[in-house]
Amino acid sequence: AQSVTQPDIHITVSEGASLELRCNYSYGATPYLFWYVQSPGQGLQLLLKYFSGDTLVQGIKGFEAEFKRSQSSFNLRKPSVHWSDAAEYFCAVGARGTYKYIFGTGTRLKVLA
């Protein structure tokens, strides 16, 4: 079955600390992988995407993610978190030619000053 799992519902980090949000997927085809961020009351914004090639992808706002095929993971990282990063983060998976992406249930990030 195709699925995306974000094991952490809530994560709290201190400002300036590093961050890693986990995403595991199950997908039959070669996956296209995405991370989105949603600020309260807003729509989702695409942070980064992976299609193929270099398994470490850079995104906006200083985020990066690493695709690990052997672990079926696509974890999101940031070396130093800012208070403005407090939001909800969604991982999604699809494939070339698909109409629909499968979204994880999200991880809510809280940043302590």
Partner 1 sequence: SQTIHQWPATLVQPVGSPLSLECTVEGTSNPNLYWYRQAAGRGLQLLFYSVGIGQISSEVPQNLSASRPQDRQFILSSKKLLLSDSGFYLCASEDRGKNYGYTFGSGTRLTVV
Can you give the binding site for partner 1, defined by CB under 8 A?
Answer: 32, 34, 36, 41-46, 49, 51, 90, 92, 94-101, 103-106
- Least Cβ distance, residue 18 to partner 1 (angstroms): 25
List of residues 6+ apart from 41 with CB closer than 8 A: none
DSSP, residue by residue, 41-70: TS-EEEEEEE-SS-SEEE-GGG-EEEEEGG
Looking at the Cβ atoms of 44 and 111, the one nearer to partner 1 is: 44
Looking at the Cβ atoms of 28 and 97, the one nearer to partner 1 is: 97
Q: Is 41 buried (19+), middle (13-18) or exposed (0-12) by CB count in 10 A?
A: exposed
- Least Cβ distance, residue 111 to partner 1 (angstroms): 19
- Least Cβ distance, residue 48 to partner 1 (angstroms): 9
